[in-house]
Amino acid sequence: MKHNFSLFFLLVSFISFAQVEEKKLDELIQNTLKTFDVPGMSVGIIKDGKIIYSKGFGVRSLTTKQPMDDNTLVGIASNSKAFTCTALAILADEGKLNWDDKVSKYIPEFQMYDPYVSQNVTIKDLVTHRAGLGLGQGDLMFFPEGGNLTVNDIIHNVRYLKPENPFRTTLDYNNIMFIVAGEVIHRVSGLSWADFIEQKIMKPVGMTSSFGSYNRAKTVANKIDAHAPVDGKAIAVPHDWNETGNAAGGIMSNIKDMTTWAEFLLNNFTTKDGKKLVSDKNVQQLWSLQIPDKVAMKNPYDTSFYGYGLGWFLSDVKGHKQVQHTGGLIGTVTQFTLIPDMKLGIVVLTNQQSGVAFNTITNTVKDSYLGIADRNWLKNYADRIQKVEAEYNKQKKDAFAKSDAFKKDKNLQPKAEQFVGKYSDQWFGDVEIAQQANTYRISCKNSPRLKGELLPFSNNTFIIKWDDRSYDADAYIIFSYDETGKAESAKMKAISDITDFSFDFDDLDLRRK
């Protein structure tokens, strides 16, 4: 169904949200929930210093059926990175650190794989995704939830991650470096990352319902369950987060507080009572391009530059500077968008992991303010995701079909003595493959939820079918045999492109113990 928003948002810049047009946006959100099987969503819009829209839709949990509203807490995931960088900016303004300080000044034991990088990597390098680590490299140290490694363990293990790119040459999104940055904040301030964020940012900004970590929000009733598609239908899954990853994505917030955060940012990092938390000099640092990335020749907003600042993705949309970030955990995704010169902020929080859902809302609202005729983003994304999911499903179906065919010939299958045993990766830790009756099982010491069954695929390869089907991250494990026919090492890779990049299987180098 098409919705004509073209003139509406422009007309309400200085007046209240017109009831008739509010209903049109309500309708679009409801249709978006249905189209992409999202149980609940909350949306906020701020324009010219006024919050003109703040609502929740659907249910916060398919289990309880309780409604989602603008007070419902959601894990904002990587939208937490902006808070980490704001915290660093505050400390810089206080003279307690500089962006170009070496990380080793504050964390002497910190090392990366290359000694030169270890000696030269700066705080700014940590939070601009340019330290050389690849997309999601090392994320298995804290992802999925329930891992055993501490922040100090992660800082130690970074030295074993062989960078995928030369130092300071490429933007490759990476969470591990933000965890290190969070430890810098802790060591400089004496406060935990979560305490610093709550006391020095959330409290003065007026984010009265938000928390610096999921664990601090456990007693709050009005928070979402996460939901992930399993066998084509969204189901409720655990919504939690490893404390080790807080600086990369640990904040719990809601639409009311996130629009308050947007108001603060659009007001030049100044609180409602007139206190400026970050100097103009450091605001410019935060919102200046630090590392560029590629821009598609043809794109919907005539974008000519794109890249990362300090905790923010930066680009231009129809001639306006856009400051944006997204966040994603298993079962929930969020999007936060600012166009500063238009004094416009758009926030979308969801309890399902469908990025096309938040893009539908953000782009429709944004287009309206930019004066762009309705492009029916709902239909465009629905058509697009249908094609993409069909390809993903084919990848998975073909892999399991080949496994089923291979299982029929017992003579071709690897024998237990060839590969059963314990393996270890320097940064991830121990992995055990064991025989249980007629099946083989894999378990990971430092990530106890990452366990599953091994299905024969070829004479040296199995499919790992994870027990938690919400992961959608089944993977190949490929053994390398020695001259006697026994496995001495193993590599892993996802069987489908749908797998989240934080399931960093490709960087594992498992050696038999």
Domain count, the chain: 2
**Concatenated DSSP letters of 329-344:** ETTEEEEEEEEGGGTE
Q: Within this chain, do residues 418 and 302 fall inside the same structural domain, yes or no?
A: no
Rounded Cα gap, residues 134 and 149, in angstroms: 20
The predicted structure's pLDDT at residue 33: 98
The predicted structure's pLDDT at residue 8: 41
**Longest pairwise C-alpha distance within the chain:** 78
Instruction: Report which of 179, 191, 177, 174 is spatially closest to residue 96, judged by C-alpha positions.
Output: 191
Low-confidence stretches of the chain (pLDDT beneath 50): 1-17
Q: Within this chain, do residues 426 and 306 fall inside the same structural domain, yes or no?
A: no
Beta carbons within 8 Å of 13's beta carbon, 6+ residues apart: 47, 48
> Quick one: 492 exposed, middle or buried, by C-beta within 10 A (0-12, 13-18, 19+)?
buried
Handedness of CA 388, 393, 398, 399 (dihedral sign): positive
* Residue 429 φ/ψ region, left for φ over 0, alpha for ψ in the -120 to 50 degree band, beta for the rest: left
Q: Within this chain, do residues 92 and 216 fall inside the same structural domain, yes or no?
A: yes
Identify the domain containing residue 482 by its residue range. 409-512
Neighbours of 509 (CB within 10 A): 16
- 135 located within any domain: yes
Q: Which residue, 279, 302, 334, sits at the end of a domain? A: 334
CATH at 133: 3.40.710.10
CATH at 491: 2.40.128.50
The predicted structure's pLDDT at residue 130: 98
Q: Within this chain, do residues 290 and 419 fall inside the same structural domain, yes or no?
A: no
- 17 located within any domain: no
CA 233, 237, 241 angle in degrees (round to 5)?
140
- 413 located within any domain: yes
The predicted structure's pLDDT at residue 239: 81
Q: Which residue, 300, 334, 368, sits at the end of a domain? A: 334
- 400 located within any domain: no
- 133 located within any domain: yes
Contact 490, 480 (CB under 8 A): yes
Q: Within this chain, do residues 297 and 417 fall inside the same structural domain, yes or no?
A: no
Instruction: Report which of 132, 151, 134 is spatially closest to residue 142, judged by C-alpha positions.
Output: 151
Q: Within this chain, do residues 330 and 430 fall inside the same structural domain, yes or no?
A: no
- 3 located within any domain: no
Instruction: Report which of 393, 403, 502 is spatially closest to residue 135, judged by C-alpha positions.
Output: 502
Q: Within this chain, do residues 330 and 414 fall inside the same structural domain, yes or no?
A: no
Rounded Cα gap, residues 173 and 272, in angstroms: 33
The predicted structure's pLDDT at residue 19: 53
Q: Within this chain, do residues 330 and 431 fall inside the same structural domain, yes or no?
A: no
- 349 located within any domain: no
Contact 356, 384 (CB under 8 A): yes
- 442 located within any domain: yes
Whether the pTM exceeds 0.75: the reply is yes
Contact 138, 161 (CB under 8 A): yes
**Residues in a beta bridge with 435:** 440
Q: Which residue, 268, 300, 334, sits at the end of a domain? A: 334
Handedness of CA 100, 181, 223, 235 (dihedral sign): positive
Length of the chain equals: 513
Q: What is the pLDDT of residues 395-409, one digit of tens each?
A: 999 999 999 999 988
The predicted structure's pLDDT at residue 17: 46
